[in-house]
Structure 1
Amino acid sequence: MSMAASSSTDHTLRSSVKFSPAQFPKSTFAPQRLSFTTPKIPKCTLRSDNPLPQNFIVSKPSPLEILKTSSADRYTKEKSSIIVIGLNVHTAPVEMREKLAIPEAQWPQVIQELCALNHIEEAAVLSTCNRIEIYLVALSQHRGVREVTDWISKKSGVSVPEISKHQILLYNKDATQHLFEVAAGLDSLVLGEGQILSQVKQVVKSGQGVPGFDRKISGLFKQAISVGKRVRTETNISSGSVSVSSAAVELALMKRLESSFGDAKVLVIGAGKMGKLVIKHLVAKGCRKMVVVNRSEEKVNAIRKELKDVDIVYRPLSEMMECAAEADVIFTGTASESLLFSKENVEILPPVGQGVRRRLFVDISIPRNVDPGVSELENALVYNVDDLREVVDANKEDRQRKAMEARGIIKEELNTFEAWKDSLETVPTIKKFRAYVERIRASELEKCLSKMRGDVSKEQKEAMYALSMGIVNKLLHGPMQHLRCDGNDTKCLDEVLENMRALNRMYDLETEISLMEEKIRVKMEKAKK
């Protein structure tokens, strides 16, 4: 039976239907006289011209039918949401993170792919050695999450259930707070680390001019950068803190049981951001000579200029295995998506120098550069980014105290951003009200000109047009002022939102098709082309 037929019959023969109390408001029944066999039924008119059998019972709508009828209303009232979905060092091991990692060069392309999905309006990607997080403005929460999770699964080859087991999933204010904590260094493996702020800045730089990196997402990341700067300026959380790169150097020292790298034969593979930081921290720990393998010598020369008193020997990537044969400590930090050291080619390397039993690999790359199987060999030790906890835990307690100050700053900035985001709600109303008034102005001007039967000069028409525009602009000035707020004053924002709702009611500005539905319809039409 269809929903329409069910509804019609239900009003026709209420006397033959048995109702449960849950179908009526509490006020319909007097609790002490409630009877499930002969309930008191609201008055209705029976149609005698369509009798039905005595034993006929009108079935109640199924839960699925109820959901279908209510979904349209719920869907049109649903507001777009800010969402973060992904994995990080706290929720997923390196084996999982490296499968989902997205190289920085691909971030603009990924933004466009995500925004091509039906329910995704804006997007940004933050992919580092410790996290792969996708930030979204979604037209529908659950639909958006489902689409993006499916996209991640297809892109990485990891099943949806496996992703769900390790993912973080936060909405709106929680998602915003999370990004602010990330930018402030509070969510890093190394509490208070500074490198993550430069990575958040890179998200904005990569997103400039990319369709889909629009007002809300761009505003979110710019506010996050402001938070990161404030936390580092106004608190001591970064004083004496270590980065992933410095923790890698500390870990190597711990495993070598040495106080410096003065006598170590050090090889650094990669001269990018991570490699450069490793080199600087090696120098701080007494290393005065090292070999750096990189695709080109340009970046190595730039590092040489900064560290003039250090002997930095450049070797091309083609000589990597020869250099590894002569080294006893090897750091890897490249963006290579394939392994640089397999178990087989490490196994045939010659023994390390006298007094050192095993060659030490410290791999801080995502995806990893060193095959985990290398650790099974008798002549090698392998550590990756997840093993840095041993170093981090040594000074974590002191940084936790400093983090309390940072959270106060984050709370202030969070309120500011949420107010700004809420103030954007008035933009569609402003546009619709202007369009509404403009239609009236143009229509009335046209009527006036038609009554004058063409006996109007060009100058007179221009004067009449200017007059109508002047009247409209002056009338619009007051309402427009009351629909604007910079977001810093909560009281002001509350008033603005109330003014917006009042204007919508007074001028019936709500359209039959919601803004959300219209955006989805346009997206789906584009996808068909």
Structure 2
Amino acid sequence: MSLLVVGLSHRSAPVSILERAALAADTQAKLLQDTLAAEPAAEGTVLATCNRIELYADVDKFHAGVAELSTLLAQHSGVGLDELTPYLYVHYEDRAVHHLFSVACGLDSMVVGEGQILGQIKDALALGQELHTAGRLLNDLFQQALRVGKRAHSETGIDRAGQSLVTFGLEQLADDTDVDTWAKGKKALVIGAGSMSSLAAATLARSGVSEIVVANRTLARAERLAQILNEPGGTGVAAHAVEMVAVGDELTRADVVVSCTGATGLVLTGEDIETAVQGRRAPLALLDLAMPRDIDAAAHRIPGVRLVDIESLAEASADAPMAADVDQVRGIVSDEVAAFGAAQRAAHITPTVVALRTMAADVVASEVARLEGRLPGLDDKQRAEITQTVRRVVDKLLHAPTVRVKQLASEPGGAGYADALRTLFDLDPETVAAVSRADLNDADVKNRGRV
């Protein structure tokens, strides 16, 4: 295993750099294709969220891999390599596994314990599978990361250590007031109809707002979200959809605005917001969850306007509570990293063991054929008994060393046992490689249906 991750996040880079480095969906696909075209990488996938961009790859050379992945991130993000490099972090092998498992559990999130990252990890794996850039290593890694994240949320109180980004943002807007009390009766405008915007709309509805207007560039998506909010047995909120051109008018009526779109420019400018608040008495609360930002940072300076964005959320969430739950999750991550490493090391030697047993079977077949030539008078029963006896002898001789070598290979530093086994028995490298290719093809077919 030669897993390498190169990336940047809210922990390593300022919001201004993260905004500029944000990757559109088509850019992510091109980045993965170029990663596999690069010499050091055999597999690759990208985890891109509003506050992190990470490129995962299976590489055969560490230093060359770091240089190539860093260059690719710079090229596709549009941020110069010299400017980007100080904000990049690098994790290799077990440290890379530990990093992804921590991310999956919400330990590395802006709001500790948030669960939305699991969906984003699932999307990252699906993209790698769709483009055939994720092979056995990354399939295994990301599938296990999803399981580890779910385990952390089901076995610990990490959910209490930090709410979703939406809930946390609304709490910041409400300041010292209970969110349900603060939101009750307010009119809300939700800009965007993706997963984060849908979560925001649902959270606002549960908090007691009286009306939700959904605006989106594709009106049909906004209408679908509004329909879900209006379903019988729901929260009772009145919801309807509008086109993006109506946002200016809706802004004058709204008490709270949540925006999370994929736009590359501002959705609400300072001028838009100043116009909307002219002559009104009620304050306007703005929550910007987009990266790059949707709402002009100049809104901070407009009287009667309170803006909470990714940058202010990062500052407010610096002192995460409930250390006991965090420590418990860290323990789970450490255990799972050790188990994953052992499984990968054991799997690495399996093709060699299979090749050894295949060679032994060929030797048995050859010797039985030679014996038949020297003893042509054997009947079928005698021939079968001799064949079975020879096979049992070979199986017994190979059983203990093959079981033991798998155990040894699963331990730290056990990667060299496969090489030793190949050398001792003079195994054909092509035979071992053929077994590996067959395993990889089987795993690829199986894993494509698991996301």
- Bin the TM-score by the shorter chain: 0.7 to 0.9
**Correspondence for 1:271:** 193
Matched, 1:326 2:253: yes
Residue number in structure 2 paired with 1:283: 205
CA 1:371/1:486 → structure 2, altered by over 3 Å: closer, same or farther?
A: farther
What is the aligned partner in structure 2 of residue 229 from structure 1?
150
1:507 corresponds in structure 2 to 425
CA contact (8 A) 1:111 1:124 kept: yes
* Aligned residue number for residue 526 of structure 1: none
Structure 1 residues 106 and 443, CA gap change in structure 2 (3 angstroms)? farther
Distance 1:477 1:111 in 2: 47
CA distance in 1, matches of 2:427, 2:12: 46
Structure 2 match to 1:88: 9
> Is 1:314 aligned to residue 235 of structure 2?
no
Letter in 2 for 1:400: A
Query: For residue 378 of structure 2, what is the aligned residue in structure 1?
Result: none
Shift of 1:170: 0.9
Say which structure is richer in helix. 2
Paired residue type of 1:420: A
One-letter amino acid of the counterpart of residue 264, structure 1? K
Q: Distance in 1 between matches of 2:390 and 2:151?
A: 47
Percent identity, aligned pairs only, is 27
- Deviation of 1:240 (Å): 6.7
Aligned CA RMSD, in angstroms, stands at 4.0
| Alignment-derived partner of residue 55 in structure 2 | 134
Cα deviation, 1:104-146, whole Å, max 9, x if unaligned, reads: 5665553333111111111121111221111111111111111
Please identify the structure whose Cα radius of gyration is greater: 1
State the match for 2:226 in structure 1: 300
For the structure 1 residues 503 and 476, does the alpha-carbon distance in structure 2 shift closer, same or farther, using more than 3 Å as the test? farther
State the alpha-carbon separation in 1 of the partners of residues 197 and 189 from structure 2.
11
With CA pairs under 8 Å and 6+ residues apart, which has the higher RCO, 1 or 2? 2
Report the Cα distance in structure 1 between the residues aligned to 2:412 and 2:76, rounded to whole angstroms: 43
Q: Partner letter of residue 269 of structure 1?
A: I
CA contact (8 A) 1:328 1:353 kept: no
- Compute the displacement of 1:482 (Å): 5.0
The structure-2 alpha-carbon separation of the partners of 1:380 and 1:372, relative to structure 1 and needing over 3 Å to count, comes to same
User: What secondary structure does 2:424 align onto?
Assistant: helix
Question: Contact 1:82/1:138 (CA < 8 Å) preserved in 2?
Answer: yes
Deviation readout 1:240-290 (Å, 9 max, x if unpaired): 731101111112212999841235332111222111221232234331222
Contact 1:267 1:323 in 2 (8 A): yes
Residue 280 of structure 2 is matched in structure 1 by 353
Matched ranges for 1:134-173 at <5 A: 134-173=55-94
Q: 1:382-393 maps to which residues of 2 (within 5 A)? A: 382-389=307-314, 391-393=316-318
Displacement after TM superposition at 1:175 (Å): 0.9
Q: Give the structure 1 partner of residue 382 of structure 2.
A: none
Q: 2:337 aligns with which of 414, 427, 434?
A: 414
**What amino acid sits opposite 1:200 in the alignment?**
I
Residue 42 of structure 2 is matched in structure 1 by 121
* 8 A Cα contact 1:482 1:496, kept in partner: no
Tell me the matched-pair count: 417
Normalization by structure 2: what TM-score? 0.79
Structure 2 counterparts to residues 248-263 of structure 1, below 5 A: 248-254=169-175, 259-263=181-185
C-alpha contact (below 8 Å) 1:112/1:211 kept by paired residues: no
Q: What stretches of structure 1 of length at least 5 have no aligned partner?
A: 1-79, 452-466, 520-529
What TM-score, normalized to structure 1?
0.68
Cα gap change, 1:114 to 1:303, in 2 (>3 Å): farther
User: Are 1:119 and 1:138, in contact at CA under 8 Å, matched by a contact in 2?
Assistant: yes
SS in 1 for 2:183: coil
Aligned partners of 2:176, 2:264: CA distance in 1, in Å?
A: 27
2:104–2:148 contact (8 Å) kept in structure 1: yes
